[in-house]
Amino acid sequence: MPKLHEAAPLSRSVKLAGSELTCSCHACAFFSADDEEQAILTPFARDGLAANDRLVQIVNNQHRDDRVRRLKAEGIDVDAATARGQLEIRPWEQAYLSGSNGFDQDAMLALIQDVLKEGRSSGFGMTRLWANMEWALEDLPGVEKIVEYETRLNHVLPKYDDVVVCTYDLNKFSAATVMDILRTHPQVIVGGILQQNPFFVPPDQFLAELQARRNPCVTA
């Protein structure tokens, strides 16, 4: 078991956004257009399916048909991959927004772990999770906790040798949110290139900062 914040080594390297990963990954991917996102991550999905990895995608259900079309354009037999449990396209309502009252970050942290465990127990090499994060723009309770959730993921993901990519449209999120999100991911994709993130802040440190923001009059 890796130490806290220490990424687990991958059983083999993974190509993503012009780089080669050799350890588990929690990356934020910033894009300015949907086509830009697809150009980077659809080949990542195709390569994973060819390597017997499990691919889990979390999308706005209104965009599911387009996602399926793009995967098929990459030569992926979506129906066959889905039937054998290798490909799963989940709507937000079966993930981030599955609670009866908006976003429950504790439930989602548990779900992420279940998904990653399921991939390995089902005989797949690893799980490649590609999650669109625009659910946090919905007018629902709890979505304002997205930064805290992303930070807490860094307590969880180092335990698994998998690759998790959270995608953000720079045109839809505020600059302040983008800066906070950047600080919650050990890796970042900007300009189509994956790199180690020099702005990453360890989760305990960032959680303390978030707490101080909520209670500015409380001092240690």
Report DSSP letters for 32-43, one per residue: SSHHHHHHHHHH
Question: Domain for residue 4, yes or no?
Answer: no
Identify whether 31 is part of a domain.
yes
Q: Is residue 220 part of a domain?
A: no
**Domain total in the chain:** 1
Q: What distances in angstroms separate CA 212 from CA 20, 79, 150, 180, 183, one per listed residue?
A: 37, 48, 17, 14, 16
Residue 24 pLDDT > 80: no
| Residue 1 covered by a domain | no
CB atoms within 10 A of CB 106: 10
CB-CB contact of 162 with 129 (8 Å) = yes
User: Looking at the predicted structure, is the pLDDT value of residue 122 above 50?
Assistant: yes
Q: What is the pLDDT of residue 2?
A: 37
The residue-averaged pLDDT of 99-115 equals 92
Sequence-ordered list of residues with C-beta below 8 angstroms from that of 97, at least 6 positions apart, any chain = 103, 135, 138, 140
Residue 217 pLDDT more than 80? no
pLDDT at 170: 95
Q: 198 is in which domain, residue-wise?
A: 9-214
What amino acid occupies position 128?
Answer: R
Question: For position 128, which CATH number holds?
Answer: 3.40.50.300
Whether 142 and 135 have beta carbons less than 8 Å apart is answered as no
Task: Give the pLDDT mean for 155-164.
Answer: 92
Contacting residues for 90 by C-beta, under 8 A, at least 6 apart: 56, 57, 58, 59
Query: What gap in Å lies between CA 31 and CA 149, rounded to an integer?
Result: 21
219 within domain boundaries: no
Quote the pTM value. Answer: 0.90
**Is 171 domain-assigned?**
yes
169 occurs within a structural domain: yes
CB 127, CB 116: distance < 8 Å: yes
Copy the structure tokens of residue 164.
Answer: 């998790």
Distances (CA, A) of 6 to 11, 26, 156: 16, 12, 11
